[in-house]
Structure 1
Amino acid sequence: MDVPELVETWQRIIIGDHKSWVLFANGTCVILMEPAGDLAAQATEILREYGPVHGGTPAGDFGTITLDPGPGWVVYGHHNDVLTYVAPEELSGDGEPSDLEIGLYGRGKRDQDGHELRVVHVEDRRAA
């Protein structure tokens, strides 16, 4: 999925015209509930701490949300405002993938974003 498509997907997912957020290269979005200063830097610090996966810790935990309307899923972890989008075409196999498959895939994308920390879009919704 290319960046403009990912941005459009997150604009559809995030409810509320007042929420600022930052998108990373592999589909992880950090919603900034208290945006201040440089939003990319603020989100990068959050993802640096809460993006990488460490087995046996809360950083390895995840849950999934099926998007309605779809398509796809959002995978969340140990920080409520760090979310990763998983598109149906990213998962192989026949039939509907399990929550485990979706979650592991999304967690892997979050881990990659947590290490690379490459911002591809900033949605600044702060009042002017």
Structure 2
Amino acid sequence: MSDDPIAISPPVPILRIFSVEKALEFYVGYLGFAVAWEHRFEPGMPLYMQVERGAAVLHLSEHHGDGTPGTACFVPIRGIEAFHAELAAKDYPFARPGIEDAPWGSRTLTVGDPFGNHLRFDEAR
């Protein structure tokens, strides 16, 4: 146990989205995340929400200045073969990711969201 009085938690990436419907279709319908909460300052304002699956937490934001399209997120995973099979079984016409052997010795499955962001699911060997 450390004597450091400061406890830093894992960071939560903020990914920019431009359509709530497309974000829900991809993150909830395709990847299997669940919406933990949503926030708007008032009706008609941009949405900010948190999605979760297991220990993975992502913030999705319609707010200008929150994230940049093209962001890459490294997501450690256990059970990459089962995850791949789960995705392959879904009728999602915009992605058919495969598993690749990474040069650093792990296996990765990279999938791009509808907004240009990339999630790199990585299973260490």
TM surpasses 0.5 = no
More strand by share: 2
> RCO (CA 8 Å, sep 6+): is it higher in 1 or 2?
1
TM-score by length of 1: 0.30
- Computing the radius of gyration from Cα coordinates, the structure with the larger value is 2
TM-score by length of 2: 0.30
More helix by share: 1
